[in-house]
Amino acid sequence: MKISIKYVGMLVLISIFGQAQQVYPTIGKTDIYNTKFNDIIPHDAKIEVIATGLKWAEGPVWVKNGNYLLFSDAPQNTIFRWDEKGGLQPFLKPSGYTGLGQYSDEPGSNGVIINNKGNLVACEHGDRRISELPLNGKSGKITLADTWQGKRFSSPNDICQSTNGTYYFTDPPYGLPGRETDTENREIKENGVYSIDPQGNVKQIIANLNRPNGIALSADEKVLYVAQSDGQNPQIMQYPIKEDGTVGAGSVFFDFSKYEKQLGKTGADGIKVDAHGNMYAAAAQGIVVISSTGELLGRLHTGVPTANCNFGDGYLYITAHHYICRVKLK
């Protein structure tokens, strides 16, 4: 069949526009402190803003079985969903406080993960628990843990899970109505770090940190990292994991106070570790990239307070204040 050149041109245009991806606005810049940074982040990387209008975005997680992003907005007591086709939309509300009236400034969920079973696990500030919710809709939310030694948690903040099923999470006071000064609601004096073993047993494994916040496992799952959001000790700690799931004595993995010239006075919020052991720490108005041996490599500088990040579909997704951002990884 004869096809005119004009008609072929129309087909080409339709094909081009059909395959075109949405162009997103960009913010910030990249700061390179070590050439190893170029092995992780492309030299021409852009920080794309894929969604905005949040109050305080936190805890992003990519859902492989569905190709979409979930993240928390604790002040709005909501977990949101984002994907290329549908954009931003509420996924779960309430996400962390099911009571009546005003509870605190951040009553919703904070850190969220997809566990080994493919379910959503959330750190709930207002209901002061770790919850699990199947994404297939076949059953409702259950409580994995809400107490230690009969005392309620303060406000579980961030969480990770090992391949053997053990959860590790932090419990600072940020979600309590009175935060650090809340003596009325607080039941556990320590700002602790806890584990939940596969049988559901809860242990307080770290008790001497002032402000435990972000938490992550090393690539080989032999080390537990905990970020200290403490102005006096703005450090990321590392702890060897024992066979019983508890941890040994801690040591400093990265000390932000030694890099004030490059990063300013800062400390880490959420942290993640990639398959090569590199760490991505939400700090210094962006994501600070640190090698597996504790070298400062670079920063994805969003220019706004940045809470957390996670990997998915070849990108690093970033929750930065009222923005959801992403950066293409090498």
**pLDDT tens readout for residues 124-157:** 999 999 999 999 876 789 999 999 999 999 999 9
Which has the higher per-residue pLDDT, 15 or 107? 107
Phi, psi of 66 (to 5 degrees): 145, -20
Query: What mean pLDDT comes out for the span 99-113?
Result: 94
For residue 250, how many other CB atoms are within 10 A of its CB? 18
Q: Which two tokens stand for residue 73?
A: 């907005």
Give domain status of residue 114, yes or no.
yes
pLDDT of res. 230: 84
Give domain status of residue 55, yes or no.
yes
pLDDT of res. 180: 83
Q: Which residue, 206, 200, 211, is CA-closest to 167?
A: 200
Residues at the annotated binding site for substrate?
157, 180
Is residue 155 packed enough to be buried (19+ CB in 10 Å), middle (13-18) or exposed (0-12)? buried
Q: CB of 71 within 8 A of CB of 61?
A: yes
Give domain status of residue 298, yes or no.
no
Residues at the annotated binding site for a divalent metal cation?
58, 213, 269
Q: Which of 31, 83, 269, 313 is catalytic?
A: 269
Give domain status of residue 287, yes or no.
no
Residues 6+ apart with CB under 8 A from 312: 61, 62, 64, 69
Note down the domain range covering 57: 47-272+305-328
Q: Which CATH number does the domain housing residue 192 bear? A: 2.120.10.30
pLDDT in tens, 60-94: 999 999 999 999 999 999 999 999 999 999 999 99
To the query of whether residue 197 is one of the catalytic residues in this protein, the response is no
Give domain status of residue 131, yes or no.
yes
pLDDT in tens, 225-254: 999 988 889 999 999 999 988 999 999 999
For CA atoms 8, 10, 11, 15, the dihedral sign is positive
Residues at the annotated binding site?
58, 157, 180, 213, 269
Domain count for the chain: 1
pLDDT band at 20 (very low <50, low <70, confident <90, very high): low
Q: What is the 3-state secondary structure (H, E, C) of the chain?
A: CCCCHHHHHHHHHHHHHHHCCCCCCEECEEEECCHHHHHCCCCCCCEEEEEECCCCEEEEEEECCCCEEEEEEHHHCEEEEEECCCEEEEEECCCCCCCCCCCCCCCCEEEEEECCCCCEEEEECCCCEEEEECCCCCCCCEEEECEECCEECCCCCCEEECCCCCEEEECCCCCCCCHHHCCCCCCCCCCCEEEECCCCCEEEEECCCCCEEEEEECCCCCEEEEEECCCCCCEEEEEEECCCCCECCCEEEEEHHHHHHHHCCCCCCCEEECCCCCEEEECCCEEEEECCCCCEEEEEECCCCCCEEEEECCEEEEEECCEEEEEECC
pTM summary value? 0.92
Give domain status of residue 225, yes or no.
yes
pLDDT over 90, % of the chain: 85
**Cα–Cα distance list, 299 to 29, 52, 180, 227, 328 (Å):** 8, 21, 30, 17, 14
pLDDT of res. 5: 35
pLDDT in tens, 276-286: 999 999 999 99
pLDDT, mean over the chain? 92
Q: CB of 110 within 8 A of CB of 125?
A: yes
pLDDT over 70, % of the chain: 93
pLDDT band at 9 (very low <50, low <70, confident <90, very high): very low
Give domain status of residue 295, yes or no.
no
Give domain status of residue 100, yes or no.
yes
| Residue 8 pLDDT > 90 | no
pLDDT of res. 18: 45
Query: What mean pLDDT comes out for the span 92-116?
Result: 95
